[in-house]
Amino acid sequence: MGFAPGLVAALILLLGDGPPATRGAEVVLRGKVVTLAAAIKELGVDVKPDPDTTRGEAVLLGEDRAITPLFRDDASRALFLDERLRDRRVELRGRRFSGVPYLQVSSFRVENEGSWQTPEYFCSVCAITERYPKICPCCQGPMELRWRSEHR
Ligand SMILES: [Zn+2]
């Protein structure tokens, strides 16, 4: 059960004279995560930035067709590293700061097999779960993408 679009719009409107810029405002944004290069191409923006800067940058291409860049950190890193999470419907929860175009992602869900699910990376040997793809910190083996239906 997601947020109603009206509530999302109200949250975004609150940014204008809402909380201090340092704290940010909670938002829920939907769309799909693509590389900046793909977003520019899809929108037909007439710019030619250096490809090596746009290929690796993940952005949200919103349902309103707006590009929102993402701070890359533990919470969002999977969207930068794992192509399987990109170019499909996604719901990002996070914070926006006045005057800052980047979204700080706190959690996200991806539409998978008809429902919103959270991706995670699992080592079946050690039963360890991580938020983004990496070598298992315990056995140094590979970790596999799996989907969790419940929101943590
Ligand atoms: Zn392991």
- DSSP state for residue 17 in the 8-state scheme: T
In whole angstroms, what separates CA 97 from the centre of its chain?
Answer: 16
- Can you give the pLDDT at residue 48? 93
**pLDDT (0 to 100) of residue 23:** 83
What gap in Å lies between CA 99 and CA 85, rounded to an integer? 28
What pLDDT, in 10s, does the model give residues 46-84?
Answer: 999 999 999 889 999 999 999 999 999 999 999 999 999
Q: Give distance in angstroms: CA of 113 to centre of ligand 1.
A: 27
The alpha carbon of 143 and the centre of ligand 1 are apart by a number of angstroms equal to: 7
Residue ranges of domains in the chain: 5-115
**116-131 pLDDT, tens per residue?**
999 999 999 999 999 9
Q: What is the pLDDT of residue 1?
A: 47
How far, in Å, is the centroid of ligand 1 from the Cα of 122?
Answer: 8
Pairing state of beta strands 115-123 and 144-148?
A: antiparallel
Residue 121 CA to ligand 1 center (angstroms) comes to 11
Q: Kindly indicate whether the domain formed by 5-115 is annotated with CATH number 3.30.450.
A: no
pLDDT digits over 6-40, tens only?
655 555 555 555 545 678 999 999 999 999 999 99
Rounded to the nearest whole angstrom, what is the distance from the C-alpha of residue 128 to the centroid of ligand 1?
7
| Residue 103, number of CB atoms within 10 A of its CB | 22
Distance CA 105, CA 49 (A): 25
Give the separation between CA 31 and CA 60, rounded to whole angstroms.
Answer: 6
Give the long-range contacts of residues 7-10, CB within 8 A, separation 24 or more.
none
